[in-house]
Structure 1
C-alpha cells in the first residue's frame, strides 16, 4: 500500500479508501457482517488504513460493523464518517440537516455506534442550503475542541461553501477544511471546474465516491457477452448509462487491454493520477484485491492524455472562453506560449 498526506492535516492515509456503504444487511446490494469482514481483511492485509462510512449507511449498521472490525487495533485506522441525513424511518425534522442540533446528536450517536472515543475525520454529507456556513463551521470547530473529532470535511457541497469556510479558518482561527468528498470519475469530471482548483489553492484533500461510475467503468456493461443477459442497473446509474458514457467505458476497455490491466484498475489509476483518493467498495474479497492492484498501475503521459480526450466534457462559461483565440492572444499580451502558466485549465493553441 502507498499512502498520501490528506491535505494539510498531516494524516497519512491509504491511496485507496475503503467504502463501507454495503456493510450491513437490508438491501440486495449490501452484505452481512461476515461477508464484510472478508472485504475488510483483504483491504487491511494490503496495508489499508482509511475507512469511510456514514451515520445512515444500512440504517446505522455500517458504523456498528466498522467499530467492531477496527476494535482490536483502533489507533491504526483513520475513520471517516458523515452526518446530515436522518436514519431511515425517523420522522423528526431536526434529526436531519447540518445545523448544530443535528450535528450534536448525530456525532454522539456515531461515536456510540462506532464504539470509539473520537472520530478522525467528520464530514458534512451534503449541503442543505438552509444553515449558514458559519454556524456549521463553528459547531464543527467546537466538536474538535471537545475532543470528539480531529479533522473536518465537506461532502457534496458547492465550491463557494468550502471557500467561505476556509475564509473563516484564516480570519477567525476556526479549523481548516481537511477534505472534500465528491463524485469523480472518467464519466463525471465536473469538479474540475471549481473544486479541484480550490483544493489545489488551499491544499485540501479530495476523496472520490463512485470512481467506477457505479460499475460503468468496470467493464461489466461493455465486456459482457449478449448471452449473459441484462445486467442490473442501480437507480443512481440509470441516467449515467447513456451513449456518451458507454463510449467512454468501451474506449477505457481498449486502453486497459493494451496495458494488460482491468478496466477498473485503469479507471482508478486515472483518478489517483489527479491526486484524488478513490473510495472503493466491494462485495467480495477478490474484488477488493483487484481494486487495490490499481495502486501499482502507472499511466504514462500519453495514456493520460488519451483518457482525458475520450472523457472530455464541456467546462462551461467562463472556462470555455479559453478556447477562443482572442482572449488567449489579448489576455496574455500575445505571448501565451512564452509564459509559464501553472495548472492552466484550457487548451494551448496549436
Structure 2
C-alpha cells in the first residue's frame, strides 16, 4: 500500500489517501508541537509521496494549525482534500463561541476559511457532541453550507452512535447533505468503538478516520511503568508536555503499557518500530476500512509512521495483538454470537450475509 493508493471516502466519490496527515502538532502554541519549518517539511513530504488528505481543526494550537496550512497550501489547494472541524470554544467566556449550533458552525467556518486562505472546505466535521443542540439544526446547517459551496462534505467526530444514526437517517429522508465520514479514537488501547460506532459506520456508509492511532504515544514504547506516577495530582489539559496529554486523556495506564509490550515484542521480531506495528494493525482491520490520522511532532517520526504502509502482518501477529487488546463487546453482541443463539436463530442452517 502507498499514499497514492486512494480510497473513496464512505459512500461519497471523494478520493483520499489511506493515511491522513494530522496537523494538531502544527504550531508550538501548546508547548509540544512542531515549529513552522518542521511542519512545512512534513506537509511537503506527505504531498510529494502522493498523500492528499489533510486533517486539522479550528481549535488546534489556538488556530496556528489552520494558519500554517493556509501558507503551505498556497498554490496546491486543488490537490489537497482539506478537512477541518468546528465546535470547540475559541473565545472563552462567550457561550455561543462553542457548541454544535448553527451560529457557531457558520461563524467557525468563516473564521477557518480566513485562516486557511481558501474559499471552501472539502470536509467539515462536527468535533464533539455538545448534548444541547437539536440534531436537525445541525444537519440543516450542514446542508445550507454545502448548498452555498463553502463546505463540500459533512462529517462527525466523537459522538454517540445512536445520535449519528438518527442524524444520517434524517438527512436521507429530507434529501439533505449526508454525513460521509466518522472520526473516532481508535487504537489497540481503545477498541470500545467496535461495539457500536464501527458497525454503524459500515451500515450508514461513513468512512472511518482513527485519531490517536498510537494511543497518545503509549504504543510507541516511549513510556514505562515509572511514568504512571506522573498522573498524580495532574490537571488534565492540552497544553504542557505530550506526557501530560497522555495522562489527561487516560491513555497512560497499566493496561495500555501491557498492550504496548506485546506491540514491542512483535516489532522486535519484524525489525520494525512499535509505531509501525500499531498503525499496521489498524490498516489490517477486517470488516471495515480504517484510515489512521498520523500526527507527528518531528519529521523523523513522520517518516517512521509512513513505514506502516509497507508492513504485511501475518495471521499469528494479528491474533497476538487482538488477544492483548481484546474487549468485551457486551450485550447484545456477545449474546447474539452465542452458539445457542445462532442455533435457534438459523435452525441449524449455515447463512451468511451476501455482499
- The residue correspondences of 1:193-232 to structure 2 (distance < 5 A) are 193-221=195-223
2:234 maps to none
Does residue 138 of structure 1 match 2:150? no
The question of 1:307 aligning with 2:321 is answered yes
The answer to whether the aligner puts 1:237 opposite 2:247 as a matched pair is yes
Report what 1:248 is aligned to. 259
Aligned counterpart in structure 2 of residue 82 of structure 1, from 85, 92, 95: 85
Q: CA deviation at 1:26?
A: 1.7
TM, length-normalised to structure 2: 0.89
Structure 2 counterpart of 1:295: 309
Q: Does 1:340 align with 2:352?
A: yes
What is the RMSD of the two structures over their aligned residues, measured on CA atoms?
2.0
User: Which residue of 2 is the match for residue 348 of structure 1?
Assistant: none
Structure 1 gap ranges (5+) = 344-350
Query: Aligned residue for 2:156?
Result: 154
Q: Paired residue for 2:125, among 123, 126, 139?
A: 123
SS in 2 for 1:317: coil
Aligned residues: 335
Deviation at 1:204, TM superposition (A): 1.0
User: Distance in 2 between the 1:341 and 1:140 partners?
Assistant: 34
From the superposition, tell whether residues 174 and 232 of structure 1 become closer, same or farther in structure 2 (CA, over 3 Å).
closer
Q: TM-score, normalised by structure 1?
A: 0.90
Equivalence for 1:27: 30
Note the C-alpha offset of 1:260.
2.5
Take 1:161 and 1:311, find their aligned partners in 2: how far apart are those partners?
27
- Deviations along 1:109-146, one digit per CA (max 9) or x if unpaired, are 00011010100000100000111111100000000000
Query: Any stretches of 5+ residues in structure 2 without a counterpart?
Result: 231-240
Aligned positions of 1:34-113 closer than 5 A: 34-87=37-90, 89-113=91-115
1:296-334: per-residue Cα shift (whole Å, max 9, x none)?
212233322222111101212212224544323323324
Q: CA deviation at 1:6?
A: 0.8
**Secondary structure of the structure 2 residue equivalent to 1:153:** strand
What's 1:271 paired with? 282
**Contact 2:126–2:156, Cα closer than 8 Å, also in 1:** yes
